[in-house]
């Protein structure tokens, strides 16, 4: 399938039109940003790694009955995706306290949640720096209908169950992650964007070592090795004995 014009270039991906108006190509980049674009860098081979990890997870999800935009791989760094009208809300699903939640509620990172998963909504608005929204804000803004909100929230919970179990089988704790949804031409709510170490926090189940973009955000070193390790485990079959590997 041939790429036509570039439709969008973001911090980590480029989206191209194709000769089919319902199919786009998303090409993953090695560049990385953090803290609202103020920190910039490159993670070598991230494009390939995130493409392969996202492809595997989207396939797993569609086998589990979750509609996703993934249609197939296009190249090492790119996938064919269904065109969606994206919701202006990001859904963050949290199983363990980390990142901005630790700062917001004052729990230490790694603390357990009383009733996981905890789900948060963020407004996709660069000018406002993607603020956290409460239910009243969502209603006021009208960025999602109550029906969309409950359907997307249920899908987010299902994604958490499916990929959380998959990662657990591979010795990884799915601490938290961000999802984006859109509507396809038939009006179905569909999971879009990516699922990768850029958008998930993943900790080794034994050592609690961080194997995700926090290594870049926090200058922990070993960024490429962490992404490669997640890819290795994602592509391997599940085994209950990762530590003995
Ligand atoms: P946070 O703790 O910084 O709010 O991040 C929660 C999760 O969402 C974490 O897994 C990283 C992911 N995330 C993104 O994918 N994009 C973003 O812009 C932010 C802020 C977080």
Angle at 82 between CA 81 and CA 86, to 5 degrees: 105
Q: What is the pLDDT along the chain (245 residues), one digit of tens a residue?
A: 789 999 999 999 999 999 999 999 999 999 999 999 999 999 999 999 999 999 999 999 999 999 999 999 999 999 999 999 999 999 999 999 999 999 999 999 999 999 999 999 999 999 999 999 999 999 999 999 999 999 999 999 999 999 999 999 999 999 999 999 999 999 999 999 999 999 999 999 999 999 999 999 999 999 999 999 999 999 997 654 544 44
CATH node for 3-234: 3.30.470.20
- With contact defined as beta carbons under 8 Å apart, do 81 and 69 qualify? yes
Strand partners, 16: 6, 25
Residue 241's pLDDT is what? 53
pTM of the model as a whole = 0.96
**Is the CB of residue 99 below 6 angstroms from any atom belonging to ligand 1?**
yes
Residue 1's pLDDT is what? 78
Nearest CA owner, ligand 1 atom 15: 199
Per DSSP bridges, beta strands 118-123 and 132-133 are antiparallel
Residue 231's pLDDT is what? 98
**Is the CB of residue 176 below 6 angstroms from any atom belonging to ligand 1?**
yes
Q: What distance in angstroms lies between residue 34's CA and the mean position of ligand 1's atoms?
A: 9
**Is the CB of residue 201 below 6 angstroms from any atom belonging to ligand 1?**
yes
Q: What distance in angstroms lies between residue 58's CA and the mean position of ligand 1's atoms?
A: 19
Structure tokens, 150: 């409950």
Nearest CA owner, ligand 1 atom 16: 199
**Is the CB of residue 92 below 6 angstroms from any atom belonging to ligand 1?**
yes
Task: Tell me the C-alpha distance between 135 and 8, whole Å.
Answer: 29
**Is the CB of residue 13 below 6 angstroms from any atom belonging to ligand 1?**
no
């Amino acid at each position: 399938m041939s790429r036509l014009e570039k439709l969008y270039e973001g911090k980590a991906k480029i989206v191209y039109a194709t000769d089919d108006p319902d199919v786009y190509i998303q090409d993953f980049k090695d560049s990385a940003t953090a803290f609202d674009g103020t920190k910039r860098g490159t993670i070598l081979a991230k494009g390939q790694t995130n493409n392969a990890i996202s492809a595997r997870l989207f396939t797993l999800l569609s086998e589990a009955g979750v509609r996703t935009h993934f249609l197939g791989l296009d190249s090492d760094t790119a996938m064919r995706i269904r065109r969606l009208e994206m919701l202006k809300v990001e859904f963050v699903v949290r199983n363990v306290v980390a990142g901005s939640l630790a700062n917001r509620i004052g729990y230490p990172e790694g603390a357990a949640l009383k009733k996981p998963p905890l789900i948060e909504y963020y407004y996709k608005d660069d000018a406002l720096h993607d603020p956290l929204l409460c239910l009243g804000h969502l209603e006021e803004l009208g960025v999602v209908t109550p029906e969309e909100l409950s359907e997307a929230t249920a899908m987010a919970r299902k994604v958490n169950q499916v990929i959380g179990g998959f990662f657990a089988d591979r010795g990884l704790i799915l601490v938290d992650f961000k999802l984006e949804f859109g509507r396809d031409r038939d009006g179905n709510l569909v999971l879009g964007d990516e699922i990768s170490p850029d958008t998930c926090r993943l900790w080794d189940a034994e050592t609690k070592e961080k194997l995700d973009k926090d290594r870049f955000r926090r200058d922990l070193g070993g960024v490429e090795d962490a992404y490669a390790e997640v890819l290795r485990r994602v592509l391997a079959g599940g085994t209950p004995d990762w530590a003995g590997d």
